[in-house]
């Protein structure tokens, strides 16, 4: 089932369906490349020396995500426990909220 | 070794020494004899020793019996111990009578007047009661 | 201006009136009117001290109005309006009343001019808010609420202890700038720090927020933490240690947010991270930085509410907010998905409020020339966009369609939720579009232009490469949809370790007590028994002794007495 | 009301006694009996409140009944602390008198006449304690209070009640004869008087090194203050019907204890003497330990009344601690806590009774989901609990605040920590009751075979006379926050004696 063409879905859903594909990624890459190239065209008024390094921000952002993903992975490996770890003292171990509970709340 | 003082001390107080000996004999009998009648005898000996002690205390050398004679120079013995002991003799007789009466009762009850035998019987009764 | 009714009391009065109103639209309308009336009142306030009152010989200030309190008062009222609109469908009186009390307390605390008044409202926020968690009505929510409440009240009692010490030392109860140094001021800082979720004091936040009701979490996310930020800005502006505390706050929660499964908990951690931004700015303490604090609080309340609303809508419709059970939801909840994406963008994209406020904070840190802190903030900006702006919407709404085989697809969120989210998004947008108006509200009169080419370019680069990195890593399989399970945070220390220690202590003391009382009883019994043995009917001292030995003993006794009396007379 | 003060005082002490007689005479007519009980309570409150303006303006109305020995007489004098205690006891008696009717009828208790008679007798004793002018008078009424409450504790007359009452009587009489009486005689020998005098009567008359011993005799001798380890009577007395627990064990009896403690501290020793000699330091630590240990024990109790009883043990030590801090603000906090805790705790007890009347539940774990059925009762419970915890805007906040200030003044910062931890423990043992009742669904217990909640929809409260009084006192907790200033100015002359006054002058060496 392709969400992009599924006419039973609302128009916004179909639009979002397009984003879900490869297109978004390549659009982003295109925008990113353009923005990165602008570093060479535009001279910013940096306060810190290292800001002047070309592609500093782009690289820093990408590196941040990588660091975060890796750190998250390590934390997950170290600290992940079952949902019942604290049961019955937490809501994590409880079943999904039933419809009437949600309405009541 | 009897020098002048000590010999006179012992001799002059001979009555007290006699009292002490007599009293100890009585005490010894009370403590050591199991026979109740003998105990009473010991008690009486002890008692007599006490009487004699008091009477000796009251004796004044050269004194007469404390009966008024009309002579102002007359020396009398101290009347108080005598009176006291007169009473004590009466009490002593009564005590002895009571003691002997009790011994008769004990003899009837236990069939013996030996103290250790009585104690044995008592213990036997206790044991039976508690069992 | 004595004709102005204190806005906090508007909420509280409304909370008292509310239960007698009939349930339904009338009540919901009344609820919506309350924050609007309050906002209107606050709008009309002019700076100065109004409404002082006497309590036990203390001259207290109910309303101390300046630009800082007005900003917080306004955003609190407005956010309360949005949250109540979002909760239009809720019929539960308890939640309605406590929401009003909670908002009223927070606004009251913001306008408090002295510590006693602050304390009253401070505890008010603690007690009122816990009902939003308990209202979920499950065993787990009950325990979570108790933990939350104890920590919140701990903050209150530490505050009152700090107040007492501070008062003892200085004789002043004014809620103003403090210099860290004495025990009292440290206690006050810690009290604020608990509500501001300082590292290691933060566990209540990711613990409690995901446990509340869908609507309750939105309300919770608005007040408590921002009230703490306000208090820090009021009392501890320029305190250096806050810079380092804030830096840790930027990092630690972010890692958890990047790894969590429960998306509302992801948002709670993200919120904690954003508090770090504000704490750093408070630590910098320059007028520019404090403007940044106020601006970021406003922007952050709006976009974080929006994200919590979106996740609340997902929870409301699907029954879960866990990434492991979600995916592909854009098919059935497209508007929610779109608004969620807007919420993510609102955090730092130009044209949105978050961009302005973040630029303020970053600039203030740069001006203070703190390169490491600045880099940390940059990392935080990229990271927060990754966890809340990209990863979260993607996990919830895109990817594998988890509801493909379900008998019934989840429906789009109800109209009131959509409307509330739409309004929130619009306000983010409006503030971002009109930075000058935004700036004019801030406490200090500092000229600042967020929309320089530098800032825009920088921010766009950061955002686009963050997104690119996410999608690239997703393709390479380095980022995956998380499996069910929870992450143990430092809450393990109190929920497991401390509990175990307490249990061990209880076990030891119970047994020690038992042993002691048993020993004592045994001793006593033995003592009584020995007395009984000696003197009881069978006892040797009660038996009849032979007369002979009696006499002997009496003689011995008499002799002994003689010796004693003679030796005494000698 | 135009009465000579001495007559009015006698009237205040005798009114409940008259009430006792009248109650006894209307044995067969319950309506009349209860009307008498309520009217007496209102009249008593009226008489007691009549003293307030005078006392606040500095007057000290007094009355002497007769002299036992030269300078040792059965005499009364109203001073601020006694005024406060009398107001608390007589005011709450009205509420409790109402509540008694609801509870005793709702529960169909037997021997109600005896109950009401002993109750009035106990109030009379409490008023006597409050107004006593010397330690001798106080001691007599102290013992009367113990003995008159014994039949109340043993009311149910079953094994549990009898054994509880035995513990009650044993500890209270034992400590008062064994320690307090000795202390009183010792004081008499040292000071030659037992009159309460601001600034104390012992200064300069006792070797400071044995001062702690005398203080210890008093502290343990006042068993009603439930200082650990002589606290066992309080939980033991919880076998009594709830109104008894409410008034006597939350208000009259225990408050008589801590009131005596404050009196001894302020009027026998004098806080200056205690502060200078640091004789009360050990008592402060003991009270602190008592606070924390009793709170911890309360956490483990599932029986609601037992939990409240241990909570009382802990809260009473606040007052003892306030006295032992030996600072003005500590005394102020302690005195305020008498009123604040009385109001809060009576609310909690009456709620516990209302729950019992309505559902016959005594265990907290059986109360899940009850809140939706009894919202007023649990709402009042919540407010009472919050006041005990010390949260604004409820009365309990002020007393805790002054105790903390007192601790700061005394330089014992660690005591502030004790108060903090105790607050959190209060949260941990009081709020779960409300939270579970409102928010944890009930059914799992209904299926477990326990006494199930009658599952009819809507509200099923206890009789109105059981629910109204706790609601009134809950509102009282709220009002006390805003009117605490009145208590403050009432107690002020006691806590902060005028340094130029004769009483304080006499203290100077």
Q: How far is B11 from chain C (nearest CA, A)?
A: 26
* B and D make contact (3+ CB pairs below 8 Å): no
**Separation CA C527–CA D214 (nearest Å):** 30
Helices and strands (H, E) in chain C, number of each type: 23, 3
Closest CA to C214 of C56, C102, C88, C331: C88
Count of structural domains, chain B: 1
Q: In terms of CA atoms, which chain D residue is nearest residue C153?
A: D424
Question: With an 8 Å Cβ cutoff, are D413 and C165 in contact?
Answer: yes
- Asked if A68 and A26 sit in the same domain, the reply is no
- Asked if A55 and A105 sit in the same domain, the reply is yes
- Which of C57, C135, C164 shows the shortest C-beta gap to D401? C164
Question: In chain B, what is the straight-line distance between the N-terminal and C-terminal CA atoms, in Å?
Answer: 66
- Asked if A68 and A23 sit in the same domain, the reply is no
pLDDT for C3 equals 65
- Which of C538, C543, C551 shows the shortest C-beta gap to B31? C551
Question: What are the chain C neighbours of B119 within 8 Å (beta carbons)?
Answer: 544, 546
Tell whether B32 lies on the interface with C, counting CB pairs under 8 A.
yes
Tell whether A73 lies on the interface with C, counting CB pairs under 8 A.
yes
> Directed axis angle between helix C353-367 and helix C371-384, to 10°?
160
Question: What are the chain C neighbours of D423 within 8 Å (beta carbons)?
Answer: 153, 157
Residue B79: CATH number of its domain: 1.10.287.3510
| Burial bucket for residue A12 (CB in 10 Å: 0-12, 13-18, 19+) | middle
Closest CA to C70 of C32, C42, C89: C42
A14, A39, A41, A91, best to mutate vs chain C, most C CBs in 10 Å:
A91
- Which of D409, D428, D484 shows the shortest C-beta gap to C168? D409
Helices and strands (H, E) in chain A, number of each type: 4, 1
- C58 SS3 class: strand
Domain that holds residue B67: 4-130
D385, D431, D445, best to mutate vs chain C, most C CBs in 10 Å:
D431
Question: With an 8 Å Cβ cutoff, are B126 and C543 in contact?
Answer: yes
A3, A69, A95, A98, best to mutate vs chain C, most C CBs in 10 Å:
A69
- Asked if A58 and A79 sit in the same domain, the reply is yes
pLDDT for A14 equals 81
- Asked if A64 and A84 sit in the same domain, the reply is yes
Q: What are the C-alpha distances in Å from D185 to residues C362, D71, D259? A: 76, 14, 20
Share of chain B above pLDDT 70, in %: 95
- Which of B27, B115, B130 shows the shortest C-beta gap to C546? B115
Give the mean model confidence (pLDDT) for residues A28-43.
84
Q: How far is D354 from chain C (nearest CA, A)?
A: 22
Report the neighbours of D using a cutoff of 3 or more CB pairs below 8 angstroms: C
**Separation CA D378–CA D366 (nearest Å):** 14
**Separation CA C544–CA B119 (nearest Å):** 8
**Stretch 417-436 of chain C: residues touching chain D, C-beta under 8 Å:** none
**Separation CA D222–CA D176 (nearest Å):** 6
Q: In terms of CA atoms, which chain D residue is nearest residue C56?
A: D485
pLDDT for C1 equals 43
Residue ranges of chain D whose pLDDT lies below 70: 1-2, 442-459, 498-509
A65, A66, A81, A99, best to mutate vs chain C, most C CBs in 10 Å:
A65
The sign one gets for the Cα dihedral D290, D291, D293, D294 is positive
* D and C make contact (3+ CB pairs below 8 Å): yes
Tell whether B19 lies on the interface with C, counting CB pairs under 8 A.
no
Q: Whats the size of chain B, residue-wise?
A: 131
Tell whether C536 lies on the interface with B, counting CB pairs under 8 A.
no
Q: In terms of CA atoms, which chain D residue is nearest residue C138?
A: D440
Tell whether D7 lies on the interface with C, counting CB pairs under 8 A.
no
- Alpha helices (H) along D360-412: 370-373, 375-389, 396-410
**Separation CA D156–CA D274 (nearest Å):** 44
- Asked if A56 and A82 sit in the same domain, the reply is yes
Cis (ω within 30 of 0) for the bond into D229? yes
What tokens appear for B25 in the block? 């004999």
Q: In terms of CA atoms, which chain C residue is nearest residue D405?
A: C164
- Asked whether residue A97 carries a pLDDT value surpassing 80, the answer given is no
Q: How far is C552 from chain B (nearest CA, A)?
A: 6
Q: How far is B109 from chain C (nearest CA, A)?
A: 16
Q: Which residues pair with D395 in a beta bridge?
A: none
Q: In terms of CA atoms, which chain C residue is nearest residue B128?
A: C538
Tell whether C137 lies on the interface with D, counting CB pairs under 8 A.
yes
- Asked if A14 and A59 sit in the same domain, the reply is no
- Alpha helices (H) along D192-327: 211-221, 233-236, 242-244, 253-263, 271-277, 281-300, 304-324
Q: In terms of CA atoms, which chain D residue is nearest residue C503?
A: D300
What are the start-end ranges of the E strands in C131-189?
none
Question: With an 8 Å Cβ cutoff, are C153 and D423 in contact?
Answer: yes
Tell whether B39 lies on the interface with C, counting CB pairs under 8 A.
yes
Question: With an 8 Å Cβ cutoff, are D484 and C56 in contact?
Answer: yes
Domain that holds residue D358: 5-448+460-505
Q: In terms of CA atoms, which chain D residue is nearest residue C126?
A: D391
C116, C161, C173, C190, best to mutate vs chain D, most D CBs in 10 Å:
C161
Domain that holds residue A8: 1-42
- Residue D368 resides in a domain: yes
Residue ranges of chain C whose pLDDT lies below 70: 1-3, 538, 570
Count of structural domains, chain D: 1
**Stretch 352-411 of chain C: residues touching chain A, C-beta under 8 Å:** 366-367, 369, 371, 374-375, 378-379, 382-383, 386-387, 397-399, 401, 404
Instruction: Please list, in sequence order, all residues whose beta carbon lies within 8 angstroms of the beta carbon of residue C191, skipping any fewer than 6 positions away.
Output: C122, C155, C156, C158, C159, C162
Question: With an 8 Å Cβ cutoff, are C543 and B122 in contact?
Answer: yes
Q: In terms of CA atoms, which chain A residue is nearest residue C330?
A: A13
Count of structural domains, chain A: 2
Question: What are the chain B neighbours of C556 within 8 Å (beta carbons)?
Answer: none
- Asked if A25 and A53 sit in the same domain, the reply is no
Q: What are the C-alpha distances in Å from C151 to residues C144, C148, C187, C502, D424? A: 11, 5, 15, 17, 9
């Amino acid at each position: 089932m392709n969400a992009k063409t599924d006419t039973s879905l609302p128009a916004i859903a179909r639009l979002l369906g397009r984003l879900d594909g490869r297109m978004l990624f390549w659009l982003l890459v295109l925008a990113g490349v353009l923005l990165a190239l602008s570093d060479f065209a535009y001279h910013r008024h940096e306060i810190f020396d290292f800001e002047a390094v070309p592609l500093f921000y782009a690289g820093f952002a990408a590196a941040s995500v990588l660091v975060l993903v890796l750190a998250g992975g390590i934390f997950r490996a170290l600290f992940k426990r079952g949902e019942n770890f604290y049961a019955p003292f937490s809501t994590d171990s409880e079943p999904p909220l039933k419809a009437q509970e949600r309405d009541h709340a | 070794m009897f020098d002048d003082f000590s010999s006179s001390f012992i001799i002059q107080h001979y009555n007290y020494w006699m009292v002490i000996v007599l009293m100890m004999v009585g005490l010894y009998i009370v403590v050591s004899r199991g026979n109740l009648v003998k105990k009473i005898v010991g008690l009486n000996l002890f008692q007599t020793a006490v009487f004699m002690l008091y009477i000796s205390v009251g004796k004044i050398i050269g004194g007469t019996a404390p009966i008024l004679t009309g002579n102002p120079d007359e020396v009398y013995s101290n009347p108080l111990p005598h009176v006291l002991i007169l009473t004590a003799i009466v009490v002593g007789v009564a005590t002895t009578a009571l003691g002997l009466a009790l011994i008769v009762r004990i003899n009837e009850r236990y069939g013996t007047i030996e103290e250790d035998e009585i104690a044995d019987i008592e213990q036997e009764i206790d044991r039976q009661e508690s069992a | 201006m004595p004709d102005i009714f204190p806005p906090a009391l508007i909420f509280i009065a409304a909370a008292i009136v509310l239960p007698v109103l009939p349930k339904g639209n009338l009540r919901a309308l009344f609820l919506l009117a309350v924050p609007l009336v309050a906002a209107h009142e606050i709008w009309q306030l002019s700076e100065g001290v109004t409404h002082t009152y006497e309590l036990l010989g203390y001259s207290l200030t109910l309303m101390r109005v300046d630009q800082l309190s007005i900003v917080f008062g306004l955003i609190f009222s407005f956010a309360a309006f949005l949250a109540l609109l979002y909760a239009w469908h809720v019929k539960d009186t308890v939640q309605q009343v406590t929401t009003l009390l909670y908002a009223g307390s927070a606004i009251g605390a913001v306008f408090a001019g002295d510590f006693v008044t602050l304390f009253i409202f401070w505890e008010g926020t603690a007690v009122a808010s816990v009902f939003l968690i308990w209202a979920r009505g499950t065993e787990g929510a009950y325990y979570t609420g108790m933990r939350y409440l104890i920590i919140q009240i701990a903050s209150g009692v530490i505050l009152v202890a700090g107040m007492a010490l501070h008062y003892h030392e200085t004789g002043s109860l004014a809620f103003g700038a403090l210099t860290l140094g004495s025990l009292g001021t440290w206690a006050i800082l810690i009290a604020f720090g608990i509500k501001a979720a300082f590292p290691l004091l933060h566990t209540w936040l990711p613990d409690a927020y995901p446990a509340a009701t869908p609507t309750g979490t939105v309300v919770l996310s608005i007040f408590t933490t921002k009230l703490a930020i306000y208090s820090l800005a009021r009392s501890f502006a320029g305190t250096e240690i806050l810079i380092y505390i804030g830096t840790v706050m930027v990092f630690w929660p972010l890692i958890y947010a990047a790894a969590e499964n429960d998306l509302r908990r992801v948002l709670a951690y993200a919120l904690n991270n954003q508090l770090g931004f504000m704490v750093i700015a408070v630590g910098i303490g320059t007028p520019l930085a404090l403007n940044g604090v106020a601006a970021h609080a406003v922007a952050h309340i709006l976009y974080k509410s929006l994200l919590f609303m979106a996740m609340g809508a997902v929870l409301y419709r699907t029954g879960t907010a866990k990434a492991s059970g979600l995916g592909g939801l854009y098919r059935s909840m497209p508007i929610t998905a779109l608004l969620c994406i807007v919420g993510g963008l609102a955090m730092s994209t130009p044209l949105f409020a978050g961009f302005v406020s973040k630029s303020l904070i970053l600039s203030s840190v740069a001006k203070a020339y703190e390169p490491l802190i600045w880099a940390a903030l940059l990392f935080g900006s990229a990271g927060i966009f990754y966890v809340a702006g990209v990863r979260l919407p993607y996990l919830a709404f895109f990817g594998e369609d988890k509801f493909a085989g379900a008998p019934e697809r989840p429906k789009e969120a109800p109209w009131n939720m959509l409307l509330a989210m739409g309004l929130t998004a619009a306000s983010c947008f409006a503030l971002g579009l009109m930075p000058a108006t935004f700036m004019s509200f801030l406490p200090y009169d500092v000229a600042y232009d967020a929309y320089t080419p530098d800032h825009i370019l920088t921010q766009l680069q950061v955002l686009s490469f963050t997104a690119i990195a996410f999608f690239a890593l997703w393709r390479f399989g380095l980022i995956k949809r998380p499996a069910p399970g929870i992450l143990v945070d430092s809450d393990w220390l109190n929920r497991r370790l401390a509990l175990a220690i307490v249990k061990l202590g209880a076990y030891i003391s119970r047994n020690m007590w038992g042993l002691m009382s048993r020993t004592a009883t045994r001793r006593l019994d033995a003592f009584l028994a020995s007395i009984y043995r000696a003197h009881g009917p069978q006892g040797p001292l009660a038996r009849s002794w032979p007369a002979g030995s009696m006499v002997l003993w009496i003689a011995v006794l008499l002799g002994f007495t003689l010796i004693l009396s003679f030796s005494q007379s000698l | 009301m135009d009465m000579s003060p001495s007559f009015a005082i006698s009237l205040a002490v005798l009114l409940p006694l008259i009430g006792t007689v009248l109650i006894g005479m209307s044995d067969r007519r319950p309506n009349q009996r209860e009307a008498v009980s309520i009217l007496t309570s209102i009249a008593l409150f009226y008489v007691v409140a009549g003293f307030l303006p005078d006392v606040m303006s500095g007057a000290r109305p007094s009355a002497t009944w007769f002299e036992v020995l030269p300078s040792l007489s059965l005499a009364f004098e109203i001073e601020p602390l006694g005024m406060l205690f009398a107001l608390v006891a007589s005011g709450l008696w009205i509420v409790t008198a109402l509540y008694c009717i609801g509870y005793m009828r709702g529960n169909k208790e037997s021997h109600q006449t005896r109950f009401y008679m002993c109750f009035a007798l106990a109030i009379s004793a409490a008023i006597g304690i409050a107004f006593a002018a010397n330690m001798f008078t106080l001691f007599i009424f102290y013992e009367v209070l113990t003995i008159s409450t014994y039949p109340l504790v043993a009311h149910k007359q079953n094994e549990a009640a009898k054994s509880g009452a035995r513990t009650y009587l044993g500890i209270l009489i034992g400590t008062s004869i064994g320690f307090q009486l000795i202390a009183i005689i010792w004081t008499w020998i040292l000071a030659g008087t037992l009159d309460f005098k601001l600034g104390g009567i012992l200064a300069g008359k006792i070797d400071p090194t044995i001062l702690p011993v005398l203080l210890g005799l008093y502290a343990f001798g006042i068993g009603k203050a439930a200082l650990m380890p002589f606290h066992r009577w309080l939980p033991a007395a919880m076998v009594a019907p709830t109104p008894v627990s409410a008034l006597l064990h939350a208000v009259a009896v225990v408050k008589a204890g801590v009131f005596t403690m404050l009196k001894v501290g302020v009027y026998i020793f004098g806080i200056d003497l205690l502060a200078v000699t640091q004789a009360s330091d050990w008592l402060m630590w003991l009270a602190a330990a008592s606070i924390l240990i009793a709170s911890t024990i309360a956490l483990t109790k599932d029986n609601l009344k037992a939990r409240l009883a241990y909570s009382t043990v802990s809260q009473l030590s606040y007052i003892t601690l306030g006295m032992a801090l030996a600072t003005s603000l500590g005394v102020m906090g302690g005195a305020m806590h008498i009123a604040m805790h009385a109001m809060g705790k009576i609310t909690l007890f009456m709620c516990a009774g209302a729950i019992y009347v309505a559902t016959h539940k005594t265990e907290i774990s059986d109360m899940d989901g009850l809140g939706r059925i009894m919202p007023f009762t649990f709402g009042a419970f919540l407010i009472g609990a919050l006041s005990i915890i010390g949260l604004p805007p409820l009365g309990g906040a002020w007393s805790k605040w002054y105790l903390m200030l007192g601790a700061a003044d005394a330089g014992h910062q660690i005591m502030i920590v004790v108060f903090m931890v105790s607050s959190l423990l209060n949260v941990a043992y009081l709020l779960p009751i409300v939270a579970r009742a409102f928010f944890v669904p009930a059914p799992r217990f209904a299926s477990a075979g326990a006494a199930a909640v009658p599952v009819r929809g809507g509200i099923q409260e206890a009789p109105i006379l059981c629910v109204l009084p706790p609601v009134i006192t809950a509102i009282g907790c709220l009002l006390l926050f805003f009117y605490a200033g009145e208590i403050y100015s009432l107690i002020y002359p006691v806590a902060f004696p005028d340094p130029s006054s004769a009483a304080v002058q006499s203290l100077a060496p």
